Amino acid sequence: MTAGRPPAVELAGVSRTYGEGTPEEVRALRDVSLRFAPGEFLSVEGPSGCGKTTLLNLLGLLDSPTAGELRWNGESVGRRTDRERARMRLEEVGFIFQRFYLLPMLTALENVELPMAASRVPRPERRRRASALLAEVGLAGRERAYPHRLSGGEEQRVAIARALANRPGLLLADEPTGELDSTNAAAILDLLARVRADRKATLIVVTHNPDVAARASRHLLMKDGGIASDRTDG
C-alpha cells in the first residue's frame, strides 16, 4: 500500500455475521460484492440496521468479514493480523464518526497530532502539520482548547483534521453531520468535499440525510444487509 494514494477497494461476496451459530445470530452483511475506484465520492444510505456501519467498519479494517474477501489494490486484507490492520488504518484510512470521538483529555492540537505521533512523525513536524490542518478546517487559534470547550461543529472539524493527519487515501465518514444543526452540517459537508477534492481521496459517507447523499457522485442503497441499488450520477 502507498500512503496518500487512494487504494482500489473491492469486496467479493463479503458477509458479516455476529454471534454465528448462537440463538442471537445476526447477519449484518450478506454476500456483498462491490468495487470502489480511487478518488470516488460515495454515499451509503438505507434504513437503520441495514448494515451500513458494518460495511464501513469492514472497509476501514475495524472488523473482519466472516465470509468473502476484502481487497485493497488486489491484495486480500480482510483477515490480516491486528497489528497489520492497525498499521494500515494508521497510514491509509481516515475515520470521521458521528459522535466525533475526540479524546477528552487532549487538546484539539493534541488530538490531531495523535495519529502522527503513532506514525513517529517528529514532534516539531507533527505540531506544524497539526496546526496547519486545524487552520485548514477553520480552527486557527483554537489549538489549545479541550473538546468540552468546543461546539459540535468545531469538534467535528477537529475530527476531520485528525482524519487527515496521516494523509490517508481512504476517508470513511459515519453520519458525519448526524449531531449537527443544518448550518454546521452544510459547512462540514463543504469542508469534506473540499478536502476530498484537494487530496483526491476516496470518500465514503454513510448517511440518512438526503442533502449529504446528494453531494456524492455514486449512491449505494442498502437493505437487509445487501446492496439494493448502486447508482452513479450522469
Q: How far is the CB of 212 from another protein (least distance, A)?
A: 20
> CB-wise, 120 or 233, nearer to another protein?
120
Q: How many CA atoms lie within 13 A of 89 on its CB side?
A: 22
Between residues 67 and 106, which has the closer beta carbon with respect to another protein? 106
Contacts of 159 (CB under 8 A, 6+ apart): 96, 97, 100, 101, 102, 111
Whichever of 88 and 215 has its CB closer to another protein, that residue is 88
Cβ(218)–Cβ(207) below 8 Å: no
In whole angstroms, the minimum distance from the beta carbon of 166 to another protein comes to: 8
Residues at the interface with another protein (CB under 8 A): 57, 60, 62-63, 82-83, 86-91, 93, 95, 97, 101, 103-107, 110, 113-115, 117-118, 146, 148, 162, 166
Of 90 and 193, CB closest to another protein: 90
C-alpha cell at 42: 460515495
Largest CA distance in the chain: 53
Give min distance, CB of 44 to another protein, in A. Answer: 17
Query: In the bound complex, what is the minimum distance in angstroms from residue 163's beta carbon to another protein?
Result: 9
Nearer to another protein, 204 or 215 (CB): 204
CA distances 12 to 15, 65, 113, 174, 229, Å, are: 9, 10, 35, 22, 16
Q: At closest approach, how far in Å is the CB of 129 from another protein? A: 15
In angstroms, the Cα distances linking 133 to 31, 151, 157 are 39, 18, 10
